[in-house]
Amino acid sequence: MMSMIERTIYANTQKIKDPTLRGLAESAARLVLENWAYLLFVIVLWRFPYIVADLTDTEVQPRRPTGDSVFWQSEMARALALTCLAMSYNLLFGFSGVISFGHALFFGAGGYVTFIVLNEYDASYQQGALIVVIGITLILALFSRMNVRQLLIIALIGVLLTLLLMPGEGTLSFYQAIGLAVVASIAVSLISGVVTLRLRGIYFAMFTLALAEMFWVLAKSGTFRDITGAEDGLGFRDILPESFNPTPTFDGSRLDMYRLTVVFFVIVFIAIRRYLNSPVGRVMIAIRENEERARTIGYNTFYYKVLTMTFAGVIATLSGLLFVIWATDKRVHPEALSLKYTVDPLLNSLIGGIGTLTGPVIATLGLSLGETYLRNETFTLDTGLFGILTVWQLAVVLVVGLVWWLFRRPLQTGLRRVVDMVRRDTARAATFASGTHGHWALILGYYGLVVLLLLAVGLVIGSEIAHNLEFKGDVYNVSDLWELFLGILFVVVVMALPHGIVGTWNTFWANRRVRRLEQSAQQSAPKGNNSAS
Amino acid sequence: MTDKPVILEGHALRKEFGGLVAVADVHIQVRAGSLHSIIGPNGAGKTTLFNLLTGTLKPTSGQVIFKGQDITGEPLHRRVHLGLGRSFQITNIFPSLTVLENVRLAAQALGGDNFKFWAHFKRFKQYTETAVYAITQVGLESQMHVPAVILPHGDQRKLELAILLASDAELLLLDEPTAGMATEQVPMLLEIIQRVRQTGDKTIMLVEHNMNVVMNISDRITVMHLGEVLAEGTPAEITQNETVQKAYLGELYGDFAEIIQEGA
Amino acid sequence: MLTYFANLSPQHRRSWGLVVAYVALLLAVSYVDFGYNTAGQTAFRGILLGMLVFMVASGLSLIFGLLDVLNFAQGAFLLIGAYVGYDVYTSLDAGTTVRFLAAIVSGVVFVGVLGAIMETGLIRPLYDRPVFQIVLTFGLAAVLLDLVERYYGPDPKQPLDPPGFLDNNFTLFDQSLSYYRLFIIFLGLTMMVGVFLLLNRTRIGIIIRAGVQDSEMVQALGINVRLIFTLVFVLGAALAALGGIALVPYQGATLEMGNQFLILAIVVIVIGGMGSYEGTAIASIVVGLTRAVAEQLSLEHFDAPVLAETSILLLMIVVLLVQPSGLFGREE
């Protein structure tokens, strides 16, 4: 259907006489046709407060008591900030093959650096910064192979940034503080990249983990309470400019802030997509595929990794700041530097599909909004899911499933023998098992059988346990068990679904296309029996 | 032939692994425009020598000189920019990228646009054109948009060649280009190598195990044995060389013995 | 011993020199700065910490050396060992010595079984996807931490009384110390020597060392490498658990402890050289001493003991820059 619409639209653009106009119309049409799903998604995001307001019959603007629309606005905004974090992690891990376990450092830095520079800034720092810029330029002039032009550009950018971000008198503005936070994250990326990226991947993973954990400990400790606020964190409520403050008291700015968040998300998405489709991004993907080969065709892979790391770090820093702005208590806590904000984006990238653009978006939005939706749900151990499976039955299903999975080899062999026997007998009588469809039917039947068996065993044994153990009184909260659920999901995805949701979907269609190409190639070439993995 | 300038020179190259001497003070000169083969039985040190010349291994002592410039300590990626391209014995490609993308990346490496992260890669048409030209030269144009993994082995070897061609190297170092190929496909690949050399004005150095391959196409052959150069000369000289005969006839090196007997 | 030094490669000999010089420098600095008694106390604390770190790091190093898996769950093993040990130690109805031994046995066995399940069920299927192995252990560490928090609650557990036979004090460097601290050092040394003997004197140890060099070759000799992999994983997990239980009477059990020691262990194996047993042992002591001296220094001069965290990382960065494969790592 899509292709028919396409043809009609392109046919219509051909009717335009003026060549410049025609070109414009064509590229506009292409933009819309190739990205209609994304555009639709952005429109839904943009209208999201109104959609919720219509559905729940509440106000878009905050009135006391705050309605559902207002509540979901901030939930969506927080989820979008986390999505940007996950996308930046995926850029590193999925597209470049760089395993960083210290991404939380950048996420936390967004809040901490902004606040700390705002508080601690002194006008005399400008001179110090200028000296540092000159010093760095001198060091580069002495120890690197850069030419004069490159050095001049670096010095110029340094001086300009200093003058722009660090006023010689008075105090910092909020925007300048954000700028400084970005500069800080670039500096950290460059330094840690230069120190460790030359080493084997595993050293890099360990180094980043150690670095982030160290800053977490520093942020938590009481020694620097004056600067970091220790366990309490730092409060943003008083320092946020009105236009950045989505608290219920500021009527107009809240919706604007929501829109700004959506714009930020869209920019990050486009920037990452653009980056991946640029010459640099192509090299990055090549490095992930085969780093040695990338070097032997003439790429200094080190530069590309540092560049990507810096890019990902900046995105993470900004999303960290955004997350603080939308936090209910407007505070940045040491938790923002903790492992949680490395594990979360990692998990979301994995579930959505590492090395895919949309995977982290789908997974993060789904999981964080899902958590919000289920947060106040409670359940007891014997009501369970869908009114059919009690938690006990589910547990038994899981355990039996695990056992089956651990010992699937011998079980499969046994089952296959049975299936082969059946197939031999039926093959003559009917075409059931001989054609390609028979193959699918067999697989479906096999897995269906296994699932049914599991369910049956689970139901029977689970009900027995539930009857014998009187656990009926205990009421559990979904949010208490959410982290555990995520952890188990993590393990299951790593083990069973390495490409994630989007990745598996893409692989499926790619395989089909490849098979078709292979078939056409087979007609010209004698034989091509390797299939895509 | 001997009047052409020396393009690559290995000077007193030595490589030791632990106490084992894999390559012992080897001198080798490759002249511009020639097709120079290194042959020798397994363990003769020819792959080690190859790796020393390409920079994958650092020599214990000695120098590698390319176009009069000492490149012994240069990192791998710099050598490509100087005009030194290499292929691998084991197929070494970007598996899930398409054939075109594999080759295009090699073409892009030499342009100055690698760090333009704001522009779409398809805007740099010159690299795609170079890549398409290289792919046509090796005859893979019908499989241009196929992921490289699903190519049959022989075609992957051709893809390796195309990657080399696209990187516009003056000197192509090929490590057993026919390794693992079906026998009936070998002549086709040799023909491609010949054609590349004639049309592209390139120097080719190849390491081979298979004697039949090199005898007909090489200008010069270096025979290695136990880490040392046993003999060097034109194919005719090599077939008549007595040291080579003595060293090899006694060993179970069927191909070589056969050829020498045919030549003698 | 002499043959050991005679057979060292020049690089490793240089590393030995560096280590000795560095430790001498540390001791000299602390002697000048803190005076005799405090310096001695600091050094003792450093060695104690080194022994504890070694228990986590040796497992990490062994597992990485043989299986090529960086086990981020090693900290969680320590944590579980500590909590299970704590549980048994407090809930049993017997004399302290019996309870302590019971705690050690139950903690080690529990974590060992857990390690066996993890290796066979989760890590083994991923051998052809090494990146996912790392990611998996990393995720598992988070899951295990969460499970421990869920089961034992978020509050830290107070240090317990040491078992009866160690519940006495002795005086060292003008400071009254519990014999239990000596016991930890003794335990660490025993493990150091024990694992060394296991690696060098037994058949399994020789297979393990051969596997560290080239596991495919060992498999080609007809040895069941997979079984050895599992054994080493269990051994590593059990060592970490032992470290955790040893910590309980000394500083109680907290949820942070797992990651704290994991970081220290990571620093240790990076400095010592991944997969090198002697490197791990030496680096443990070095890291312990550095940490203790830095703690004391920052306490006396800045009143900020947390700064010691940075000292360790600084040490790691310097070593990485000087010797990218660690002090006693395999040369590349």
Q: Does residue B256 carry a pLDDT above 60?
A: no
Instruction: Evaluate whether C329 touches C274 at the Cβ level (below 8 Å).
Output: yes
**Which of these ranges, A379-383, A490-494, C229-233, C303-307, has the smallest mean pLDDT?**
A379-383
Nearest by CB to A298, which of B81, B116, B145?
Answer: B81
Nearest by CB to B113, which of A279, A517, A529?
Answer: A279
Among residues A311, A338, A364, the one where a domain terminates is: A364
Tokens standing for residue A302: 């080190």
Closest to A406 (Cα-Cα) out of C127, C125, C130, C69: C125
Q: Does residue B251 carry a pLDDT above 70?
A: no
The pLDDT of B116-139, averaged and rounded, is: 82
Among residues B113, B134, B168, the one where a domain terminates is: B168
The secondary structure of chain C in percent helix, strand, coil, rounded to multiples of 5, reads: 80, 5, 20
- Number of C-beta neighbours around residue C56 at 10 A: 31
Task: Give the β-pairing of B6-17 and B61-66.
Answer: antiparallel
Phi-psi region of A94 (alpha: psi -120 to 50; beta: other; left: phi over 0): alpha
The helix (H) or strand (E) run that includes residue B20 is strand B20-31
Backbone angles phi, psi at C155, to 5 degrees: -75, 145
A-contacting residues of B 89-148, CB under 8 Å?
92-97, 101, 104-106, 108-110, 113-122, 124, 142-143, 145-147
Q: Does residue B2 carry a pLDDT above 60?
A: no
Considering the domain architecture, whether residues B58 and B187 belong to the same structural domain is answered as yes
How many Å from the N-terminal Cα to the C-terminal Cα in chain C? Answer: 26
Tell me the torsion sign for CA atoms B196, B198, B203, B204.
Answer: positive
Considering the domain architecture, whether residues A291 and A265 belong to the same structural domain is answered as yes
Considering the domain architecture, whether residues A387 and A313 belong to the same structural domain is answered as no
The boundaries of the domain holding residue A519 are: 499-533
Domain range list for chain C: 31-322
Residues in chain C with CB shorter than 8 Å from the CB of A99 are 131, 134-135
- CB B152 to CB A530 under 8 A? yes
Any B CB within 8 A of A424 CB: no
Strand order in the sheet with B35-39: B84-86, B171-175, B203-208, B35-39, B220-225, B228-233
Considering the domain architecture, whether residues B111 and B132 belong to the same structural domain is answered as yes
Burial A159-195, CB ≥16 within 10 A → b, else e = eebbeebbeeeeebeeebbbbbbbbbbbebbeebbeb
List the single best residue of A150, A296, A309, A515 to mutate versus B (max B Cβ within 10 A).
A296
The boundaries of the domain holding residue B249 are: 1-83+169-264
Confidence at residue A393, expressed as pLDDT on a 0 to 100 scale: 67
- CB A279 to CB B117 under 8 A? yes
For residue B86, the cross-strand partners are B173
DSSP state of A144: S
Considering the domain architecture, whether residues B177 and B247 belong to the same structural domain is answered as yes
Instruction: Evaluate whether B32 touches B3 at the Cβ level (below 8 Å).
Output: no
Considering the domain architecture, whether residues B69 and B23 belong to the same structural domain is answered as yes
Structural domain contains residue A433? yes
Q: How confident is the model at residue A129 (pLDDT cuts 50, 70, 90)?
A: confident
Task: Give the β-pairing of B61-66 and B69-70.
Answer: antiparallel
The pLDDT of C213-232, averaged and rounded, is: 79
Considering the domain architecture, whether residues B98 and B68 belong to the same structural domain is answered as no
* Higher pLDDT among residues A399 and A263, named by residue: A263
Considering the domain architecture, whether residues B173 and B78 belong to the same structural domain is answered as yes
Considering the domain architecture, whether residues A204 and A108 belong to the same structural domain is answered as yes
Amino acid symbol at C95: G
List the single best residue of C126, C138, C255, C311 to mutate versus A (max A Cβ within 10 A).
C138
Q: Which fold has domain C31-322?
A: ABC transporter involved in vitamin B12 uptake, BtuC (1.10.3470)
Structural domain contains residue A43? no
Structural domain contains residue A369? no
Considering the domain architecture, whether residues A342 and A389 belong to the same structural domain is answered as no
Considering the domain architecture, whether residues A303 and A289 belong to the same structural domain is answered as yes
Confidence at residue C108, expressed as pLDDT on a 0 to 100 scale: 93
Confidence at residue A456, expressed as pLDDT on a 0 to 100 scale: 76
Whole-angstrom distance, CA of residue C126 vs CA of residue A473: 41
Residues in chain B with CB shorter than 8 Å from the CB of A290 are 92-95
Q: How confident is the model at residue A158 (pLDDT cuts 50, 70, 90)?
A: confident
Considering the domain architecture, whether residues A200 and A271 belong to the same structural domain is answered as yes
Q: Does residue C38 carry a pLDDT above 90?
A: no
Nearest chain C Cα distance for residue A292, angstroms: 16
* Residues A233-286 pLDDT 10s: 887 777 777 767 666 555 567 788 888 899 999 999 999 998 988 888 889 889
- Number of C-beta neighbours around residue A419 at 10 A: 17
Structural domain contains residue A131? yes
Considering the domain architecture, whether residues B12 and B126 belong to the same structural domain is answered as no
Considering the domain architecture, whether residues A223 and A348 belong to the same structural domain is answered as yes
The pLDDT of C169-190, averaged and rounded, is: 84
Closest to A182 (Cα-Cα) out of A363, A38, A322, A349: A322
* Residues A192-205 pLDDT 10s: 887 776 666 677 88
C-contacting residues of A 170-199, CB under 8 Å?
195-196, 198-199
Whole-angstrom distance, CA of residue A45 vs CA of residue A406: 43
User: Among all chains, which residue has been given the structure tokens 């998996």?
Assistant: C136
Among residues B137, B168, B199, the one where a domain terminates is: B168
Instruction: Specify the 3-state DSSP secondary structure of B11.
Output: strand
The helix (H) or strand (E) run that includes residue C18 is helix C10-34
Instruction: Specify the 3-state DSSP secondary structure of C327.
Output: coil
- Cis before A65? omega within 30: yes
Q: Does residue A231 carry a pLDDT above 70?
A: yes
How many Å from the N-terminal Cα to the C-terminal Cα in chain A? Answer: 31
Task: Give the β-pairing of B35-39 and B220-225.
Answer: parallel
Closest to B10 (Cα-Cα) out of B45, B75, B59: B59
Instruction: Evaluate whether B36 touches B49 at the Cβ level (below 8 Å).
Output: no
Residues in chain A with CB shorter than 8 Å from the CB of C321 are 195
Q: Tell me the whole-structure pTM to 2 decimals.
A: 0.82
Q: How confident is the model at residue A435 (pLDDT cuts 50, 70, 90)?
A: very low
Any B CB within 8 A of A153 CB: no
Confidence at residue C36, expressed as pLDDT on a 0 to 100 scale: 83
Please list, in sequence order, all residues whose beta carbon lies within 8 angstroms of the beta carbon of residue B260, skipping any fewer than 6 positions away.
B239, B244, B245, B248, B249
Considering the domain architecture, whether residues B44 and B133 belong to the same structural domain is answered as no
Q: What is the number of alpha carbons within 13 Å of residue C189 lying toward its C-beta?
A: 8
Q: How confident is the model at residue C77 (pLDDT cuts 50, 70, 90)?
A: very high
Structural domain contains residue A462? yes
Q: Does residue B202 carry a pLDDT above 60?
A: yes
Q: Which of the given ranges, A88-92, A420-424, B118-122, C206-210, has the highest pLDDT on average? A: A88-92
Q: Does residue A518 carry a pLDDT above 80?
A: no
Any B CB within 8 A of A147 CB: no
- DSSP per-residue letters across A15-26: T--SHHHHHHHH
Task: Give the β-pairing of B84-86 and B171-175.
Answer: parallel
Instruction: Evaluate whether A224 touches A230 at the Cβ level (below 8 Å).
Output: yes
Any B CB within 8 A of A34 CB: no
Considering the domain architecture, whether residues B237 and B173 belong to the same structural domain is answered as yes
Residues in chain A with CB shorter than 8 Å from the CB of B85 are 297
Any C CB within 8 A of A227 CB: no
Task: Give the β-pairing of B35-39 and B203-208.
Answer: parallel
For residue B222, the cross-strand partners are B38, B232
Instruction: Specify the 3-state DSSP secondary structure of C163.
Output: coil
Any C CB within 8 A of A205 CB: yes
For residue B172, the cross-strand partners are B85, B204
Tokens standing for residue B29: 């000169």
What are chain A's partners, defined as 3 or more CB pairs within 8 angstroms?
A: B, C
Q: Does residue B183 carry a pLDDT above 70?
A: yes
* Residues A94-127 pLDDT 10s: 888 888 888 999 999 998 998 888 888 887 888 8
Whole-angstrom distance, CA of residue A321 vs CA of residue A305: 24
Considering the domain architecture, whether residues B70 and B120 belong to the same structural domain is answered as no
Structural domain contains residue A51? no
Confidence at residue A441, expressed as pLDDT on a 0 to 100 scale: 57
What is the biggest distance separating any 2 CA atoms in chain B, rounded to whole angstroms?
Answer: 64
Q: Across chain C, how many H-helices and E-strands are there?
A: 13, 2
Q: How confident is the model at residue A533 (pLDDT cuts 50, 70, 90)?
A: very low
Task: Name the burial class of residue C108, with classes exposed (0-12), middle (13-18) and buried (19+) by CB atoms within 10 angstroms of its CB.
Answer: buried
Considering the domain architecture, whether residues A328 and A217 belong to the same structural domain is answered as yes
The helix (H) or strand (E) run that includes residue C303 is none
Q: Does residue A527 carry a pLDDT above 60?
A: no
Tell me the torsion sign for CA atoms C140, C145, C148, C151.
Answer: negative
- CB A487 to CB C146 under 8 A? yes
Q: Does residue C158 carry a pLDDT above 90?
A: no
Q: How confident is the model at residue A431 (pLDDT cuts 50, 70, 90)?
A: very low
- Closest CA in chain A for residue C146: A484
Nearest chain A Cα distance for residue B256, angstroms: 31
Q: Does residue C305 carry a pLDDT above 80?
A: no
Alpha-carbon torsion angle C25, C318, A216, C281, nearest 10 = -60
Confidence at residue C209, expressed as pLDDT on a 0 to 100 scale: 79
A-contacting residues of C 46-85, CB under 8 Å?
64, 70, 72
> What is the residue-averaged pLDDT of chain C?
85
Structural domain contains residue A247? yes
Confidence at residue A532, expressed as pLDDT on a 0 to 100 scale: 39
Closest to A112 (Cα-Cα) out of A262, A247, A218, A213: A218
Whole-angstrom distance, CA of residue A201 vs CA of residue C131: 10
Considering the domain architecture, whether residues A133 and A253 belong to the same structural domain is answered as no
Considering the domain architecture, whether residues B175 and B78 belong to the same structural domain is answered as yes
Structural domain contains residue A62? no
> What is the residue-averaged pLDDT of chain A?
79
Any C CB within 8 A of A510 CB: no
The pLDDT of A60-76, averaged and rounded, is: 78
- CB A283 to CB B94 under 8 A? no
Among residues B133, B168, B203, the one where a domain terminates is: B168
- CB A282 to CB B105 under 8 A? yes
Q: How confident is the model at residue A310 (pLDDT cuts 50, 70, 90)?
A: very high
Q: What separation in angstroms does the CA of B10 have from each of A41, B21, B42, B229, C134?
A: 61, 17, 21, 12, 42
- CB C270 to CB A223 under 8 A? no
Q: How confident is the model at residue C153 (pLDDT cuts 50, 70, 90)?
A: confident
List the single best residue of B57, B71, B93, B96 to mutate versus A (max A Cβ within 10 A).
B96
Q: Does residue A7 carry a pLDDT above 60?
A: yes
Among residues A335, A364, A393, the one where a domain terminates is: A364
Number of domains within chain B: 2
Q: Does residue A467 carry a pLDDT above 70?
A: no
- CB A282 to CB B101 under 8 A? yes
- CB B151 to CB A533 under 8 A? no
Instruction: Evaluate whether A347 touches C139 at the Cβ level (below 8 Å).
Output: yes
Any B CB within 8 A of A283 CB: yes
Q: What is the number of alpha carbons within 13 Å of residue C124 lying toward its C-beta?
A: 18
Tokens standing for residue B166: 């696209």
A-contacting residues of C 200-229, CB under 8 Å?
none
Residues in chain A with CB shorter than 8 Å from the CB of B95 are 289-290
Nearest chain A Cα distance for residue C99, angstroms: 31
CATH code of the domain in which B37 resides: 3.40.50.300
Instruction: Evaluate whether C78 touches C258 at the Cβ level (below 8 Å).
Output: yes
Considering the domain architecture, whether residues B66 and B177 belong to the same structural domain is answered as yes
